[in-house]
Amino acid sequence: MIRSIPEITLNDGLTIPAIGLGTYKMNGNVGVQSITSAIDNGYRLLDSAYNYENEGTVGEAVRKTGVQRQDLIITSKLPGRYHQYDLAVQTIQESLYRANLDYYDLYLIHWPNPKQDVYVEAWQALIDAKRWGLVRSIGTSNFLPEHIERLEKETGVKPSVNQIELHPFFNQEEQRKWHEENDVQTQSWSPLARVNNVLDNDILTAIASRHNKSVSQVILRWHYQLGSVAIPRSTSPVRQRENLAIFDFELSQEEMKRIAELTRPDGRQKDQDPAVYEEF
């Protein structure tokens, strides 16, 4: 078991682990087993969402492990169909009922849905939910800099975290730079690019064999050195452990550069550009 995952302090003071577990498609009893195994193997940050329909599964896994609730960072996300203020408040409460938790550590707006243009109302609901103690820290997902600027301008509060698609084929250099300059923590979703055309990539396999590590470990180390919190998903206890064993080696500047060169303008997994893509 990995005993020490480095921690990162967010702009509102909450401390979170530098790597977490993605839980998309982990549902029901099998999902509970996967998440319990991850916690037993050292994961302390769990990512979920109302739309994954697995907040109950996450809550059940948390109750099944011996790890104290206060030692875990649990995330959920508000879906696009509930951005209106009253609906957003109810949805955060429903998220808590589903998980049977008293609070979430992190609650994010899942997508900005700019054509609907209701995300500022949703943000106001998250601000109030934090004030009421329902969530400890509030953030966004898939927000572009212009969306975050608007939140701050209209409410005076900026997100602690923005969770975005980020992997070697889509490295988000500009958005990451903007996050850094504005003290918003980057989280990487699909950090392993869902292992599509990744594990046999020549550049990645060459770097991996130089360090006696797997390609997944090289990619997750790359996220860590970029300063982003990756949330890889794995249902396998062996791969869950593998994905945490990234704090005992370092990629050189040259290796970081070689990985950066894998990025492509069309590198998104499913062409989900937050400027136009909407999810409800």
Ligand X SMILES: NC(=O)c1ccc[n+]([C@@H]2O[C@H](COP(=O)([O-])OP(=O)(O)OC[C@H]3O[C@@H](n4cnc5c(N)ncnc54)[C@H](OP(=O)(O)O)[C@@H]3O)[C@@H](O)[C@H]2O)c1
User: Among residues 233, 201, 235, which one has the least CA distance to residue 218?
Assistant: 201
Alpha carbon distance 28, 58 (integer Å): 9
Of 81, 239, 258, 268, the residue at the interface with ligand X (CB under 6 A) is 239
Shortest gap between Cβ of 225 and ligand X (angstroms)? 17
Alpha carbon distance 50, 110 (integer Å): 9
Size of the site for ligand X (CB under 6 A): 26
Alpha carbon distance 204, 87 (integer Å): 45
Of 185, 233, 246, 259, the residue at the interface with ligand X (CB under 6 A) is 233
Shortest gap between Cβ of 177 and ligand X (angstroms)? 20
Contact 159, 180 (CB under 8 A): no
Alpha carbon distance 89, 237 (integer Å): 36
Q: How many CB atoms are closer than 10 A to CB 1?
A: 7
Q: Which of residues 111-170 bind ligand X (CB under 6 A)?
A: 141-142, 163
The one segment of 87-95, 115-123, 168-176, 228-236 that binds ligand X by CB under 6 A = 228-236
Rg (C-alpha) for the chain, rounded Å, is 18
- 254 CB contacts (<8 Å, ≥6 apart)? none
Q: Which residues are catalytic?
A: 52
Parallel/antiparallel/unpaired status of strands 229-230 and 185-189: parallel
Residue 242 lies near ligand X (rule: CB under 6 A): yes
Residue 190 lies near ligand X (rule: CB under 6 A): yes
CA atoms within 13 A on the CB side of 176: 17
Q: Which residues of 65-90 are buried (b: 16+ CB within 10 A; e: fewer)?
A: bebeeeebbbbbbbbbebbebebbbe
The one segment of 78-86, 88-96, 125-133, 186-194 that binds ligand X by CB under 6 A = 186-194
Residue 203 lies near ligand X (rule: CB under 6 A): no
Q: Which residue is nearest to ligand X (CB)?
A: 22
Residue 231 lies near ligand X (rule: CB under 6 A): yes
Residue 185 lies near ligand X (rule: CB under 6 A): no
Q: Which of residues 42-71 bind ligand X (CB under 6 A)?
A: 47
Residue 195 lies near ligand X (rule: CB under 6 A): yes
Taking the least distance from each CB to ligand X, the nearer of 195 and 253 is: 195
Taking the least distance from each CB to ligand X, the nearer of 118 and 274 is: 274
Taking the least distance from each CB to ligand X, the nearer of 101 and 142 is: 142
Contacting residues toward ligand X, per CB under 6 A? 22-24, 47, 110, 141-142, 163, 189-195, 214, 216, 231-236, 239, 242-243
